[in-house]
Amino acid sequence: MAIVMAPHNITLAIGLFTACLMPPAALASDVTYVSLSYDDALPSQLTHAVPALDSFGFNASFYLVPTNPGYLNYEKEWATVAANGHELGNHSYTHPCRSSLPGRSWVDKDNDLDSISAEAMKQQIMQTNAALTGLDGQKNRTYTIPCGDILAAGEDYLPLIRDHVLAIKGRTLSSEEEVIVAPSEVSAEALISLITQQPDDVRIINVIFHGVGGDYLAVSNKAHVALLEFLAANREDYVVDTYKNIVEALNTSDAVASY
Ligand SMILES: [Zn+2]
């Protein structure tokens, strides 16, 4: 009996060993993930970005701020955006940024992250989650850091919020493997080159838009659509999805277990 079983066991062992060497890391590294995201709940995103994304069948992440007019006046529209497969992401409740950094004269005194505590930021993230769950019924969502500022009244607030969001934009993989670009006022060619010019090691490209064909820090409709056309023509190289879906796909891979 033992003689009969031995070859079978060896084959099985080799099979498992081969499986460990191949997927999922090898499969995951074949493609580059592209997260198209749209911050601040701007009306031009509803008017221009959403129809363009839907026409190509791409899902994206919209990082909403529940106190912004572009949220308060369009709650029904954002709920529909979520129902069509896009992610409603957390971008804090009032979008505080630090006033003490260069070029921040626009920061309101009442919304200054130099004086808002880390604990208060945690409350903002929880409040925003509750508001967004009311629109999309989802329990998990990702977070984009307003202005990229991580110090709240001098304290890094990110450790306090990690249990309240699925992931933080730009912090799922190492900085060599995950990049953030935030284009505005760029040509179609320049926008596409932000995708094509990335080093081979990069596995997630986060593109952060604000206005699309309107509002501020805008990218033109023409450039935005040209990028979508490029991504649609290169689906074998680039996987476009919500940041939530990308993170969940990578979390099933051993390749990111160490981050
Ligand atoms: Zn923002």
Cα-to-centroid distance, 128 and ligand 1 (Å): 14
What gap in Å lies between CA 11 and CA 9, rounded to an integer?
A: 5
Q: Ligand 1 is a single-atom ion; what residues have CB below 5 A from it? A: 39-40, 146
Reported as a pLDDT band with limits 50, 70 and 90, residue 202 is: very high
Cα-to-centroid distance, 216 and ligand 1 (Å): 11
pLDDT given at position 29:
54
pLDDT given at position 190:
98
- Give residue 137's Cα distance to chain centre: 19
Cα-to-centroid distance, 33 and ligand 1 (Å): 22
- Stretch 169-195: mean pLDDT: 97
Cα-to-centroid distance, 40 and ligand 1 (Å): 5
Handedness of CA 142, 229, 80, 240 (dihedral sign): negative
Cα-to-centroid distance, 6 and ligand 1 (Å): 62
Reported as a pLDDT band with limits 50, 70 and 90, residue 4 is: very low
pLDDT given at position 252:
76
Cα-to-centroid distance, 180 and ligand 1 (Å): 14
- Stretch 161-177: mean pLDDT: 97
Name residue, tokens 């993930």.
33
pLDDT given at position 30:
76
Q: Is residue 14 part of a domain?
A: no
- Is it the case that residue 27 has pLDDT exceeding 80? no
Higher pLDDT, 18 or 249: 249
Provide the pairing of β-strand 178-181 with 155-156.
unpaired
Mean pLDDT, rounded, of the chain: 89
Cα-to-centroid distance, 42 and ligand 1 (Å): 10
pLDDT digits (tens, 9 = 90+) for 74-106: 999 999 999 999 999 999 999 999 999 999 999
Reported as a pLDDT band with limits 50, 70 and 90, residue 10 is: very low
Cα-to-centroid distance, 9 and ligand 1 (Å): 57
Cα-to-centroid distance, 146 and ligand 1 (Å): 5
Say what the pTM is: 0.87
Q: Is 248 left (phi over 0), alpha (psi -120 to 50) or beta?
A: alpha
- Stretch 185-195: mean pLDDT: 98
Domain count, the chain: 1
Q: Is residue 25 part of a domain?
A: no
Cα-to-centroid distance, 2 and ligand 1 (Å): 66
Provide the pairing of β-strand 87-90 with 151-152.
unpaired
Cα-to-centroid distance, 47 and ligand 1 (Å): 19
Cα-to-centroid distance, 173 and ligand 1 (Å): 21
- Stretch 32-36: mean pLDDT: 98
- Is it the case that residue 25 has pLDDT exceeding 50? no
Cα-to-centroid distance, 210 and ligand 1 (Å): 8
pLDDT digits (tens, 9 = 90+) for 119-161: 999 999 999 999 999 999 999 999 999 999 999 999 999 999 9
Cα-to-centroid distance, 233 and ligand 1 (Å): 30
Cα-to-centroid distance, 139 and ligand 1 (Å): 22
Q: Is residue 229 part of a domain?
A: yes
CATH number at residue 209: 3.20.20.370
Q: Is residue 156 part of a domain?
A: yes
Q: Is residue 9 part of a domain?
A: no
Q: Is residue 59 part of a domain?
A: yes
Cα-to-centroid distance, 244 and ligand 1 (Å): 18
Cα-to-centroid distance, 186 and ligand 1 (Å): 19
Q: Is residue 15 part of a domain?
A: no
Cα-to-centroid distance, 148 and ligand 1 (Å): 8
Domain residue limits at 200 = 31-254
Q: Is residue 8 part of a domain?
A: no
How much of the chain exceeds pLDDT 70, in percent?
Answer: 86
Residue 22 in tokens: 């191949």
